[in-house]
Amino acid sequence: MSILTPTHTKVKTERRFHFDAAFFEQLFVLLTLVGIVAGVILGRLNVDPRLLLAVNVATYFVGGFYAVRSIIAALRERTIEVDLLMVLAALGAAYLDAWTEGAILLFLFSLSNVLQSYALDRTRNAIAALLELRPDSVTVRRNDELQEVALEAIVVGDRVVLRPGDRVPFDGIIVQGRGNFDEAAITGEAMPVQKGVGSPVLAGTLNQSGALDMQVTKSAEESTLARIIGMVSDAQARKANTQSFLDRAEQWYAMGVIGAVALFILLMPSLFGVDFSDNFYRGMVLLTVASPCALVISVPAALLSAIANGARHGILFKGGAHLEALSSVKVVAFDKTGTLTYGRPEVADVLPQPGVTSDELLATVARAELQSEHPLAQALVAYCATQGHTPSEPERFQAVTGMGVQAHWDGTETL
């Protein structure tokens, strides 16, 4: 049974698709700007009107391509989006022979969509960053031989060898050896956790010290890391109350604006004798100003960016509704080390026994702990270095499980 997670392939495929779509959308925005500049220059050079018309039509095509495609898709679902307001305003400008103004409107609208897509793509990268917590291949012990195996070939029950610095590829249990594991990316625990035979290990955690063997107990799609990735994906898809309200009100608002502008254009000339062309131009201005694109875009972009930023820093929001609810929170209680602290051990004070000076104690500790991989030992050595104690390596060193370290130098033994 292969246990390669399908999520891995899916997300990579989606990232490639979004990259291609974003590239062409950005290209069309650039071509729209080029078309605007070309249209202005050709207009001042008094070239053949047919050439100028062709340039303007091409500019409209690249500038409004994605907007029109979105509008058509919405109309097929019998809904109206605010994108329609901008496109109608641009077409109205073309009717008034104000091609440049309409093209600028399409350019700004397309540019805003590109910036929105860029922001949303950055949030999707949070899921890809979680996937990168898994290695591409692992070392497996089979028939007393070590083999480098791709993740696709790993099956439940395989015995995986973990060296210092390796990330755990799947959930499992330790069957040989001991080590300290950094679980901050999965559990939020800032301090490394020491584990030995029989201890469970989680996919995505980091083995900081010790060579050991683990047995795979869960498939990739059943691992803790896969569940976290799924929760992040679901959280990004879940809409907040404000966003849901805006989505419901969007088509009614768009229909109301279109109806009001149509009445304004048709009734003002007949009732008050206003020139139709001037009034039509004012109607297009009203259509443009009434478009709430920035408001509609701002809510999902802000929420998705916040969810992704939280995921990158180890904070998982279950959805936009929960994030939005934070605005009403008055008091927050924190009870976990590493949330408001640095999450790493530091020496607070030195209290030597009578008859031993601080310098003597620090010199001994620095030399004894120099080769240790334990987080507390590294903190001690770092502190000793700040106090001017940079020792040479001991002649012999041994880590004693459950006790500490044993070091020998100059005929002296320190435990």
- Arithmetic mean of pLDDT, 366-385: 80
Q: pLDDT at position 116, please?
A: 67
Same domain, 121 and 247: yes
pLDDT of residue 201 exceeding 80, the answer is yes
Residue 333 within a domain:
no
For residue 203, give the CATH number of its domain.
2.70.150.10
Q: pLDDT at position 40, please?
A: 92
pLDDT of residue 383 exceeding 80, the answer is yes
Q: pLDDT at position 293, please?
A: 61
Residue 124 within a domain:
yes
Residue 151 within a domain:
yes
Same domain, 390 and 410: yes
Confidence of residue 10 (pLDDT cuts 50, 70, 90): very low
pTM of the model: 0.52
- Arithmetic mean of pLDDT, 242-261: 78
Strands across the sheet containing 412-414: 396-400, 404-409, 412-414
Q: Taking a C-beta distance cutoff of 8 angstroms, is the pair 287, 95 a contact?
A: no
Confidence of residue 74 (pLDDT cuts 50, 70, 90): confident
pLDDT of residue 8 exceeding 50, the answer is no
Same domain, 120 and 142: no
Same domain, 115 and 16: yes
Q: Taking a C-beta distance cutoff of 8 angstroms, is the pair 171, 218 a contact?
A: yes
Same domain, 108 and 244: yes
Beta bridge partners, 159, equal 215
Q: pLDDT at position 253, please?
A: 83
Q: What percent of the chain has pLDDT over 90?
A: 16
Q: Each residue of 222-239: pLDDT tens digit?
A: 888 778 777 766 765 666
pLDDT of residue 16 exceeding 70, the answer is no
- Arithmetic mean of pLDDT, 154-171: 89
Report which of residues 84 and 314 the model is more confident about.
84
Same domain, 119 and 143: no
Closest CA to 264 of 289, 282, 288, 291: 282
Domains identified in the chain, total number: 3
Residue 339 within a domain:
no
Residue 98 within a domain:
yes
Confidence of residue 13 (pLDDT cuts 50, 70, 90): very low
Question: What residue spans of 219-272 are helical by DSSP H?
Answer: 224-237, 241-272
Residue 336 within a domain:
no
Q: pLDDT at position 7, please?
A: 38
Rounded Cα distance between 250 and 252, Å, is 6
Same domain, 282 and 309: yes
Q: pLDDT at position 63, please?
A: 92
pLDDT of residue 50 exceeding 70, the answer is yes
Same domain, 267 and 173: no
Q: pLDDT at position 123, please?
A: 58
Half-sphere exposure of 377 (CA within 13 A, CB side): 17
Confidence of residue 351 (pLDDT cuts 50, 70, 90): confident
Same domain, 210 and 193: yes
Rounded Cα distance between 410 and 44, Å, is 91
- Arithmetic mean of pLDDT, 151-177: 89
Same domain, 107 and 154: no
pLDDT of residue 128 exceeding 70, the answer is no
Confidence of residue 4 (pLDDT cuts 50, 70, 90): very low
Closest CA to 151 of 11, 355, 7, 284: 7
Residue 172 within a domain:
yes
Which listed residue (48, 335, 349, 410) is catalytic? 335
- Arithmetic mean of pLDDT, 155-181: 89
Domain interval for residue 121: 6-130+239-322
Residue 95 within a domain:
yes
| Straight-line distance from the first to the last Cα atom of the chain, in angstroms, rounded to the nearest whole number | 49
Same domain, 109 and 163: no
Rounded Cα distance between 223 and 205, Å, is 12
- Is 213 annotated as catalytic? no
Same domain, 14 and 153: no
Instruction: Encode burial over 33-64: b for 16+ CB neighbours within 10 A, e otherwise.
Output: bebbebbeebeeeeeeeeebeebbebbbebbb
For residue 376, give the CATH number of its domain.
3.40.1110.10
Chain mean position to CA 18? 14
Q: Which of 117-126, 154-163, 186-195 has the lowest mean pLDDT?
A: 117-126
Using the 3D structure, point to which of 322, 346, 376 is the last residue of a domain. Answer: 322
- Rounded mean pLDDT of the chain? 79
Confidence of residue 6 (pLDDT cuts 50, 70, 90): very low
Q: Which of 22-31, 142-151, 330-339 has the lowest mean pLDDT?
A: 330-339
SS3 111: helix
